[in-house]
Each structure stands twice: as C-alpha cells, then as structure tokens.
Amino acid sequence: MQRYESAWGGAFLKKIMGMTFGGLQKKMVRLVMTVLCLAIVALIAVSFFQDRMLISLVEDTRIEQQQAISGISKETMSQILEDSFVRMTGVEAENADHEFSEVVNDITILQSMAEELLKNRDTVEPVRIGGPDISKDGVASAFALSENGVDYTKSEYLGAIAHMSSTMIAMLNSSEKISACFIGLSDGTHLAVDNTTADKLDENGNQIPFAVRQRPWYRGAVEDGGIHFTGVISDAFDDEKCVTCSAPVIVDDKIMAVVGIDINMASIDEFITSSSGEGGCIFIVNNNGQVIFAPENNGLFKTELAEDVPDLRESSNRQLAQFIKQALREKTHLMTVNLSGKDYYIAGVPMPTVGWAMIMAVDKELTEQPEKQMLAEYDSINAEASAAFREGNLKILNTFILLVVAVIIIGSYLALSESRNIVKPIEEMTKDIYHSSETGSLFVMKDAYRTDDEIEVLAEAFTDLSKKTKQYIADITEITREKERVSTELHMANRIQNSMLPGVFPPFPDRREFDIYATMGPAREVGGDFYDFFLIDEDHLGMVMADVSGKGVPAALFMMISKVILQSYAMLGQSPSEILGKTNDAICSSNQVDMFVTVWIGILEISTGLITAANAGHEYPALMQDGKFSLLRDKHGLVLGGMEGIIYTDYEIKLAPGDKLFLYTDGIPEASDADYNMFGTDGMLDALNKDVSSSPREILNHVQGAVENFVNGAEQFDDMTMLCLEYKGRENQSGIRPGGA
C-alpha cells in the first residue's frame, strides 16, 4: 500500500511538474516574477531619469524663451515708440502752432490797421472814446486807459486808433482763444477791449492808472522789433495768468504803438490736458527754455510767472538741458531722460510760429507694462502646463502601478500553463530595455512581444516613449549646443587674452620710483589692441602700446604673437629700435594673412628718468611736463609686418619727478558720437589736463569718462587701450625725492 501511494504520488508529482505545478513551475513563476520586477525597476529608473532630464530641458527652454520674448518685446516697443511717439509729438506741435498762428494773423491785422490809421491821423476824424464803464462789466466793450499823470482825452493818437474798436470787439467775440485785445500808445495812453471793466476802477469809480509802456508785452515788442510772445505773466488788474502776443506799430521809422492780444490760458490748458494721458503728458517750453504750459499735478514741472520759471537749458540735469536746446532748434529723436528720479521717454518738436517747442514725455515704466504682462501670462501658461504635466505623471504612475499588478497576476496565472510563452518575451524585453537605457538606442517592437496582452501594450508604450523622448532630446540638445558653443568660445578667448596682459595693480608695489596703470577695452569680445610693461632688470622698465590691424579673433591671435616676440627681444637687453627691427623681421617671415601692428615701445631708466623709445607707426604719446599734457610728435617708422629689413630710430625723453607719460591707441581720438563727430586728440588733451595732479588710474578714468560722455551711448567700432606712467624718482638719503619736497 505504501509503495503504491509512493508510486502514485511520484507519478502525480511528475505530472504536476510536467504540466501544471511542481518545482520547475515554481522556479519559472519565480523567474517570471523576478524578471517582471527587474523590468519594472529598470523602467522606473529610465522613466525617472528621462523625466528629470525632460524637466531640466523644459526649464532651460522656458528661460531662453522668456529672454527672447523680453528682447523682442523691448525692440518692438522701442521701434513703435520711435515711430508713433515722435510722430504724435509732431502732430500735437503742429496743432498747437496752428492755434498760435491764428493769433499771429489777428495781431498782424491789428498792426496793419493801426499803422494805416496813425499814418493818416491828420485826415481821420477822431472817435471819442471814454474810460471803463462799470455798467458794461461782463460785456465786450472798448475803453481808454492811461498811465499815471497822462490824460487820455488829450492824446493826439487815441482818437484815430479808436476807429479799431469795432474790429477788436468782433475779434474778441469770434475767438475763444482771445481774452483781450488792446493797443498801447507811445504817449502813455491805451485802447483796450475786453469783458471786464469793474477791475479797472477804484472804489471811487476813478480809472486806476495803467503803466502801458512798462508792461512786458510792450517792452518785449519794442526790443524785438517784431512779433513777440511773452511767457506766463500776471494781468495788471486781476492777477490772472496769461500769455500775450504783441507787435510794434512803426510809422516813419518810429514806434508809435504796440498792439497786443491776451491768449486765453484756459483754452491752451485744455488742449494740453486733453492731449495728455495716464503716464504721459505734454509741455510747452518757450524760447528762453522756460516751461509755460503743463498739465496740472503732472509731477514734473509747474507753470509759474515768467520771472520765476527756471531756464531748463541751464538745468543741472545735463541730459534735460541738452535735450531742451535741441528741441528748440529741431525735431528730436526719441530719448531717455531721468526726471525726478524716474526714466521718461521724451521727444520734442519746434513750434516755428512762436519759436517755442512742444515736449511730450511718457513714463518709461508704463511702456514696459506690455512686456511684463506678456511674461506674466507666459509664466501662467507654463505653470498650468507644469501642473498638467505633474497630473499626467501621476496618472501614468497610477496606470503603471495597476498595469504592474495586472501583469503580475496574469503572469503568475499564465506561468502555470504557458510559462514558456510568458517567460521568453519578458526576458527579451528586459534585455532590450537594459540595452536601450545603457546605449541610448531606440527600443524596437518585435514579433515576440505581440502576445495580444499587457506585454504587447507595454512594449508598444516603450517603443513610442523611446522614439519621442530620443527625438526631443536630440532636437533640444542640438539647439542648445549650437547657441552656447560660439558664446563659450568667445568668452574663453576673452579670458585668455586678458590673462596675457598685466592686470594686477600696482604691478610693482615695492617700487616707489614710478606708478603705472593701464586698461584695455575691446570693441568686440576680443580685440587687437594690447599694452605691456615689465622690468627688464632692476633699473629698466619696458613699456609697450600696440594696435593690430583688424578686429576679433584673428586680431587677438596676431596680438598675442606680437606681444610674445616683442617681450622676448626686450628681455635680451636690446634698444627699442633693435627690438622693433627684429620683431618686424620675425613677423614678416611668417605673415601669411597680411596683417600688421603699430607699436610704441620705450625703456625707462628708473634711476635717471631717461626713456629711450621708438615708434612703428603708432599714435603720438602725450607727455605731461610743466603742469600740462601735450602731444610729443616723435618720428614714426613703418608698421611691423609691412616690409622686412626696416631700420627704426631711437629717441629719448627725459622725465623729471612728477612728469607723466600717456600712451593710447587710435580708439580714443577716433571715438565718435551718433553724428559721427570724432573725440579727437584735442578732446583727449582736455580730459588729460582736467587734473594733471591725479594718479595714473584717475587720469585714465578722466579720459574714459570724457569719451563716454562724448559718444553718448553710440556704438564704437575700435578697441580703446590706455597706459599712464608717473615718474616719481628715487628718494635720496634724507627722504626727499629729487626735484621737490
């Protein structure tokens, strides 16, 4: 019985092992589960790595896009402002000028009528004109006024001029711009037309004396000899502010009278206010640089009486002063000026009729709002996309977990009956996934994976994800690599070039006999200018200033070659002319690019202050002696690299303690502003002589500041290199330097 059970049991186990269950199936199931777990771990690792890399690439791309959007937005806004802002200012100036031209037409009419009447006053029947009538207060009327001690009833001119009363009343009633018309006569009498009479009488009903010939409009017209516009002045009777247009009446080469029109400030203020908006406003500046019209509470300028208004042409704000001068002469471009601590875009257009200028200003911050809104909207979209990406990742994770559970359950079940069909594709898939993650190759769909179950779905997902991820990474990587390659190379070239030049100051802190300082500013990332200084021995200091033809990387390479050759020959103790000659021959022997270099080289004998120098086509040095810098017009030799066998000539400079030597390249005198005017050696000498007692570092700062002010932001196309040496001499035993205390 026991043998039977054993045999039966053995047969049963064999059957189970062969078909359904037993040690082999357990191992296969265990193998399947192990492979599945490994595949899952590998997939998680690959997915995590790719997810991190994708997030990093997306973030880098977002930053680049933000920078691109910001740059394009600023450029576009600048172009729009340059076109529309200046054009709008011109239109507003034309409209305002037209308003004043109508007043000029009216004043010309009054001037002509007055001249005709005064010429023929002996044949014209006088018109009786009385003083101010209080009953006509509020109604346009004509009346006579006079200065203290003058009786207008005895005027020989007033009766003839009174014929203009009806014309002046009609002119006043027909124009909202005019608040009064009048004629001041040279005998101290005055014919006026306006709507107020009460304020011309005292409490007893007597006419208040009116100093006709002392009024600004009368004196201005007499002084100008033609049409004159006052600034903002006070009315003689009611202190109301106004602007007056006046013109002299000349008969027989003698000024007999002055006609005038008071311009209604309210109409001009309304025009100024209506043309101004939030963040921007319009100002009108007269020919004396004074703001005479401006919106109320504009925060920048206020209108005051002419004698109280400052002349903006003399403002301590140099940008504003220069702009006002230009605006009174000609139409300006769009400029940026700091007013009250804020940057404003401003443009100005002359008003030829009155000789004034209209200024339009807008807060620069306001123009940057579209860019800020665009970037904020872009950040919002990115935030939404990031949230959607995280939500998608979470869904994928949940789906992945469910898929893993399903695969484990189904795999465990099918492993009992179809272990071979399950194990083989999973093993192959695992190998392919590992291969893809290690080599970066694509995961490829195979027939072995087409099992019509989750394995095939998983394989397809891997295939699609692998293709898209690889392509995306390749695209982004190529774009990023190309952008950064050029920038990195130029940056490294700049660092290499700077490292070739002396850059630690003071370079010889233990040497008190002299002080030296130098700077080099390339027009591009790298340049062809260079300077050098070095101790040849304890008593000799070598100095070099050079300028290579051309710009950019080729010039920088040629510069480094030239510098090394020059210093090598200088350290052999040879004279400057011998150094230049041998360096020229060395350069010419292998100069396949036809480049050349101008060089000034000098060797200072420190103990005596004697400089032995030679010049190969370089700029004249500037020497400070007797308290003033001037050009030392030395003899020039041919540039290095031009022709072999050139012989150069030495010359000597004797420095006394306190003397200074200034070396430079042509980028300094040839610096130009936006109108292509050059700074020149005169400008350079003015900057050098600003404070000759300054240290070499301060002197170079003076020159650099003067150049920057002159070019006013205009792009420069040449390198700017400078070196300044101050010779102090050696101290004697008493501690006193030669040449002074």
Residue partners of 71: CB distance under 8 A and separation at least 6: none
pLDDT at 623: 98
Three-class SS of residue 272? Answer: helix
Taking the C-alpha atoms of residue 339 and residue 344, their distance in angstroms, rounded to an integer, is 7
Taking the C-alpha atoms of residue 393 and residue 612, their distance in angstroms, rounded to an integer, is 76
pLDDT tens, position by position, 462-509: 787 777 777 777 777 777 677 666 556 555 655 666 677 898 899 999
Quickly count: other Cβ atoms within 10 Å of residue 464's Cβ: 12
Mark out the alpha helices in 440-526 (DSSP H runs): 454-500
Chain Cα centroid distance, residue 478: 32
Give which of 328, 424, 318 is closest to 28, Cα–Cα.
424
pLDDT tens, position by position, 155-199: 999 999 999 999 999 999 998 889 999 999 999 999 999 999 889
> Do 392 and 443 form a contact (C-beta atoms < 8 A)?
no
Residue 720 main-chain phi, psi, to 5 deg = -125, 110
> Do 180 and 262 form a contact (C-beta atoms < 8 A)?
yes
Taking the C-alpha atoms of residue 22 and residue 19, their distance in angstroms, rounded to an integer, is 8
Taking the C-alpha atoms of residue 527 and residue 550, their distance in angstroms, rounded to an integer, is 8
Prediction pTM value: 0.41
**Alpha-carbon radius of gyration of the chain:** 45
Taking the C-alpha atoms of residue 519 and residue 497, their distance in angstroms, rounded to an integer, is 13
Q: Got the DSSP string for 371-403? A: HHHHHHHHHHHHHHHHHHHHHHHHHHHHHHHHH
Is 120-267's fold the same as 276-367's?
yes
What homologous superfamily is domain 120-267 in, according to CATH? PAS domain (3.30.450.20)
Tokens of 606: 């420190």
Give the Å distances, CA to CA, from 410 to 29, 357, 405, 455, 527: 11, 88, 9, 10, 71
Taking the C-alpha atoms of residue 706 and residue 686, their distance in angstroms, rounded to an integer, is 9
| DSSP for residue 84 | I
Three-class SS of residue 715? Answer: coil
> Do 671 and 679 form a contact (C-beta atoms < 8 A)?
yes
Taking the C-alpha atoms of residue 274 and residue 517, their distance in angstroms, rounded to an integer, is 58
Chain Cα centroid distance, residue 170: 54
> What CA dihedral angle connects 307, 313, 317 and 323, to 10 degrees?
130
For the domain spanning 276-367, the CATH number is 3.30.450.20
| DSSP for residue 198 | G
Give the Å distances, CA to CA, from 485 to 58, 475, 491, 629: 20, 16, 10, 46
Tokens of 145: 């006024």
Taking the C-alpha atoms of residue 686 and residue 630, their distance in angstroms, rounded to an integer, is 10
Which parts of the chain have pLDDT scores under 70? Answer: 1-29, 31-32, 36, 58, 62, 66, 69-71, 73-84, 267, 274-279, 296-299, 302-308, 368-372, 411-424, 427, 440, 480, 483-498, 523-527, 731-741
Residue partners of 112: CB distance under 8 A and separation at least 6: none
Domain definitions of the chain by residue range:
1-76+369-500, 120-267, 276-367, 502-727
Tokens of 519: 């700077």
CATH class of 502-727: alpha beta
Give which of 165, 349, 721 is closest to 498, Cα–Cα.
721
